[in-house]
Structure 1
Amino acid sequence: MSIARARLAVIIVSYCNADDVDRCLRSLARSDLDQFEVLICENGGEAAYTNLLARLVGPDRILKRISNDSDVLDLPQKRLASVASCRFQARANVVRIGLAIDNLGYGGGVNAWLEPLLSVPDWDAVLVLNPDTEVDPRALSELVAKSAAGYGMVGGNLVFDASPDKIINYGLHWSRMTGRVIAIGRNAPVGSTPSAENLAKIDAISGACVLATRACVEDVGLMAEDYFLYMEDLDWGLRRGKHRIGIADKAVVRHIGGTTIGSAVTIEKRSDLSIYLSARNSILYARRFAGWRWICHFGIGLLYAARYLIRGSSSAGKVALAGLLDGVNGKTGRPKVVPGAR
């Protein structure tokens, strides 16, 4: 069975969260855009991969298996040990589910599909999408239309799942003075358009939902992998060069957030891994892009670590401090053990 290449490739990185992926796929199946295919990378190992296939594929599931071995993407790839070729039950869009050879992190999971995708012709853009998102029916077509107007990286209205009338952010701004990441447009009403002033502040589109054109990806390159998780979207955006950022204000995407790593806002619910990586990667990023100012960023990071102590979570403060120090020492990649973890 030979299926022509779709114009948009949607990449989803999963880590043992099959229910999230299923919900995301069901929203994609309602899209008004015809020409897209989905590429999923399961980072959680063979048991998670088997569970994901069982959750997604079957007569009473969202997908059915197909035989499409004429396409190079249906074969195991450099960092994908297995690939299951499927399609939606009710439409012809192809969905490929790949098993990563290891836990590659977010950037690595994206690149596991993006790298081989760059070697094949006939696609125009890639949409990196978190598994814990749901896209409105018009979202894909609105994002694609905005990119066609001359924008290399495009975001939409990323909204809170619990408060879908409020914007999480249009994009992200990184303060070169303090190192803090600011969500532009946070709590703005859904459907609103960012002002020219706010649009000019956006350094990157959130990795929860970012469309990049092929020309942009070919110029900018793959996502940075050594952060493992967090800051790879800002890194990608800051490297975009001549490629403009655009916002498709009618593309609504609901985002639950924190379902994989536990990156909830409150200290009590935030995981040690989330605290550690946020602290470590803020310093790694600053050392690359802030010059000598990274020392100031480190000082501000210490104040944030102290805030955990003041709020009664000494263990979280110790984890944050360990992350900051590992950032100073240039430690990258997946942490085998989170220092100071509870």
Structure 2
Amino acid sequence: MMTLKYNELTGFINAEQPAPVSEVAVIIVGFRNSGDIAACLHALSRATSGPAFDVFICENGGSDAFHRLISDLLDEEGPCRRREPVGIAMDLAAGRFTQVERLGFRTGAPNVWVGCAGDNLGYAGGINAWLFPLGRIDGWRGIWILNPDTEPTELALAALFERAESGRKAMVGCTILDSDESEHIRFRGGLHWQKIAARDVAIGLGERLDVSYDVAPVEQAMDSPSGASMYVTRWCIEAIGPMDESYFLFYEDLDWGIRAKHLGLGYARDSIVIHKRGTTTGSARNAAAIPKLSVYLQHRNGIRFVRRHFPWTLPLRVAMSLFHAVRFLKRQAPRNSWAVIQGVSAGLRGETGRPSWHRENLASVAGAPSEFRPR
């Protein structure tokens, strides 16, 4: 007799069929940046070894952006081709997507599932929109969260998977570079939280790629992988729960890592990911050009983060934010100086989620949250 499992988000899944998801689920959250996503998938398609994987994309930018993304992925020079919609039965009315398309790489086996979010779910919400239904499906051992503006090298996933499996690590970070021509590190493993300064720092920032080092101190210093590329095991997710959507954007990766640290964080030094900084987070060299929402959420969520994990450092965090407000004024960015003050005030009031005052275009701040925190 054929048995069925019911998932309130995805409908019925045939429990006797082979697992419809490979060993790793690659999750990408996009917002009207189809070119970045296409480049990321091209890079993923060049993987030469490692576990089998499928790709799950959440498009947060609405129906038009969803159809543009599908078109760009299926373009003559795109990475994908269309496949029949089988394997996962989607009950979209009960889920968080209004549309789902099943594509696949032009070469190789991976499926590429593309979901159109009914609203901008934020970074964690976009991840959870796929993570919740995946939780009811057997077969996969971990997820790999990638910024849409990243391009992993051929062995990146294999190295992450090996470190997680052989080292029994809950989460694993990689080596992140700002460009494929860079000889200097942006992240070695991930982030470290400096309690006395109430801020996070990028481990290995500025070090040469070829410098010798010991992996053990890096893993000991890690408080979280960078949200631009973080591998998370299934058993870790089952132990600590999903990413916290109350942040909406910024700090949810660090919050997740802190929650998982007691289970073991790892660094796969041979996993190299190129990150084209700023195309998804709105990073800008000009202080006045940084989107107000980015600044607001960085400082609001910084307050929320320290209240949850290091409450005794709250005065330090407030002081750090005020320091940045003054810096914005000195850099002739009064609007963002005010955004810092507003964000701190909202954090102290306990505001969470997407700010009620903002219903405008979020394209400039749709990516991973670890790129533009004050340091």
TM-score above 0.5 = yes
Aligned to 2:208: 189
Compared CA separation, residues 241 and 155, structure 1 to 2 (3 A): closer
Aligned to 1:289: 309
Aligned to 2:248: 228
Q: Structure 1 counterpart of 2:250, which letter?
A: Y
Aligned to 1:133: 150
Instruction: Tell which deviates more after alignment, 189-198 or 167-176.
Output: 189-198
C-alpha distance in structure 1 between counterparts of 2:41 and 2:91, whole Å: 19
Aligned to 1:158: 176
Correspondent of 1:124 among 129, 136, 141: 141
Correspondent of 1:253 among 257, 270, 273: 273
Q: Give structure 1 stretches of 5+ with no counterpart.
A: none
Secondary structure at 1:222's aligned position in 2?
coil
Aligned to 1:144: 161
Question: What RMSD, in angstroms, separates the aligned Cα atoms of the two structures?
Answer: 2.1
Correspondent of 1:5 among 21, 44, 47: 21
Are the equivalent residues in 2 in contact too, given 1:69–1:75 (CA < 8 A)?
Answer: no
Compared CA separation, residues 75 and 311, structure 1 to 2 (3 A): closer
Aligned to 2:52: 35
How far the C-alpha of 1:188 sits from its partner, in A, is 1.5
Are the equivalent residues in 2 in contact too, given 1:63–1:89 (CA < 8 A)?
Answer: yes
Are the equivalent residues in 2 in contact too, given 1:73–1:117 (CA < 8 A)?
Answer: no
How far the C-alpha of 1:197 sits from its partner, in A, is 3.4
Compared CA separation, residues 249 and 93, structure 1 to 2 (3 A): same
| CA distances 1:92-149 after superposition (whole Å, capped 9, x unpaired) | 2100000111100000000000111111101111000000000001111111111111
C-alpha distance in structure 1 between counterparts of 2:147 and 2:251, whole Å: 15
The yes-or-no answer on 1:62 pairing with 2:79 is yes
Secondary structure at 2:116's aligned position in 1?
strand
1:66-85 equivalence runs, <5 A? 66-72=83-89, 78-85=95-102
C-alpha distance in structure 2 between counterparts of 1:204 and 1:241, whole Å: 7
C-alpha distance in structure 1 between counterparts of 2:93 and 2:22, whole Å: 20
- Percent of residue pairs bearing the same amino acid type: 36
C-alpha distance in structure 2 between counterparts of 1:211 and 1:34, whole Å: 13
Structure 2 length normalisation: TM-score?
Answer: 0.85
Instruction: Tell which deviates more after alignment, 248-257 or 28-37.
Output: 28-37
C-alpha distance in structure 2 between counterparts of 1:191 and 1:111, whole Å: 36
Structure 1 length normalisation: TM-score?
Answer: 0.93
C-alpha distance in structure 2 between counterparts of 1:3 and 1:291, whole Å: 43
How far the C-alpha of 1:69 sits from its partner, in A, is 2.3
Compared CA separation, residues 285 and 301, structure 1 to 2 (3 A): same
Q: Give structure 2 stretches of 5+ with no counterpart.
A: 1-16, 359-375
Compared CA separation, residues 134 and 74, structure 1 to 2 (3 A): farther
Aligned to 1:172: 191
Secondary structure at 2:225's aligned position in 1?
coil
1:310-321 equivalence runs, <5 A? 310-321=330-341
How far the C-alpha of 1:276 sits from its partner, in A, is 1.1
How far the C-alpha of 1:331 sits from its partner, in A, is 1.1
How far the C-alpha of 1:195 sits from its partner, in A, is 5.3
C-alpha distance in structure 2 between counterparts of 1:234 and 1:103, whole Å: 21
The yes-or-no answer on 1:21 pairing with 2:37 is yes
C-alpha distance in structure 2 between counterparts of 1:73 and 1:20, whole Å: 26
Are the equivalent residues in 2 in contact too, given 1:169–1:185 (CA < 8 A)?
Answer: yes
C-alpha distance in structure 1 between counterparts of 2:108 and 2:81, whole Å: 10
The yes-or-no answer on 1:204 pairing with 2:221 is no
Aligned to 2:372: none
Compared CA separation, residues 252 and 76, structure 1 to 2 (3 A): farther
1:86-101 equivalence runs, <5 A? 86-101=103-118
Aligned to 2:9: none
